[in-house]
Amino acid sequence: MPKGYLFVPIQSVLISGTIISLTCLILRLFVRRKINSRLYLEDYCLIFSWAFILTADLIDAIYNAGLGTHVQNLSTSLLDLFEKLILATACLFVTGSCLARSAHLIFLARIFAGKQSMRYAVYTVTVFITVGSAATFSLFVFACRPISKSWTITQAGRCINQSAIFIAVAIFNICSDILLLLLPVPTIYRLKITHTQKVKFMIISIMVCVTFIASAVRLGITIPLLTSRDLTYDTARLGLLVGIEANILIIAPCLPAIQQGFRIASSNHNIMPGGPSKTRNSFGTARLDAPLKTIEGLSSEFKQNPFCITA
């Protein structure tokens, strides 16, 4: 069977995106080990998130399954395979997204550990994202009665409109990213740092949560699918965007650490005599073997190195 509409671009985006996201993740982990001499829980969350997203990317990149082909040109067996592909990819994407956002929440909970109000806010958003992810996961798995109807189109039964579930997922992702973006704003505003440093902190937050832009674009493409009579063809653009968004979920949180890594690489490393090993970077003097500080000591360290709190 010939490859469907946009299948080659989708395959190219998935393969190149996987390579780029893996490279960014490795650089992030290297910088974290270099600066803090250890990895944190959020780093492991990102690793598992990448593993789920990698699996989803491989499934989409390897199997044609009728994606981008007009439904009237597909056999029943290929339509069943297409439904299996959509279900597997959706479940893996939802799980990977939840883990990536959990990584950012764990990071915020750690650096703002001294602020009770912030801690409660983080817990609230964590519950929202966890419950929402579980709900969307369940919507995909239990969309049909019986469940096997989801991937067996000839079987008798009833199903929820699949496009409506895609819209619900896109809206949930947008809301989640906006919450993650706004969550640290009140605390950042109260920090005793300059306006420029606050702006830099917000830029870092926007970099981490930039996926809401991809989710918004995906929502605009998904809404017309509600009335589509040729989903296998019309879903191709959605598949392309999901591939882009999935890799952005990994790449975006790695960008601040990568920038810091470039600064460290371009600076002259001078080992200071006596005491613990220290080094100078382009921001000033900062210990590379010191752990990240919590909010009580954040202001002074942030003035020296605004990228020390890489998510």
Distance CA 35, CA 39 (A): 10
pLDDT of residue 276: 45
- pTM for the model stands at 0.81
Distance CA 90, CA 88 (A): 6
User: In this predicted structure, what is the pLDDT of residue 146?
Assistant: 92
- Please, what are the domains in the chain? 7-304 (1.20.1070)
From the centroid of its chain, how far is CA 77?
33
The pLDDT tens digits of the residues spanning 42-73 come to 999 999 999 999 888 888 777 767 788 888 88
Rounded Cα gap, residues 50 and 184, in angstroms: 25
| Cα four-point dihedral sign 149, 155, 160, 166 | positive
Q: Give the end-to-end CA distance of the chain in Å, rounded to a whole number.
A: 45
Cβ–Cβ under 8 Å, residues 93 and 246: yes
What is the phi-psi region of residue 65: left when phi exceeds 0, alpha when psi lies from -120 to 50, beta otherwise? left
**What is the per-residue pLDDT for 259?**
79
3-state secondary structure of 144: strand
pLDDT of residue 110: 85
For 156, counting Cβ atoms within 10 Å of its Cβ (0-12 exposed, 13-18 middle, 19+ buried), the class is exposed
Low-confidence residues of the chain: pLDDT under 70: 1-5, 64, 207-209, 268-311
pLDDT at position 286, please?
Answer: 38
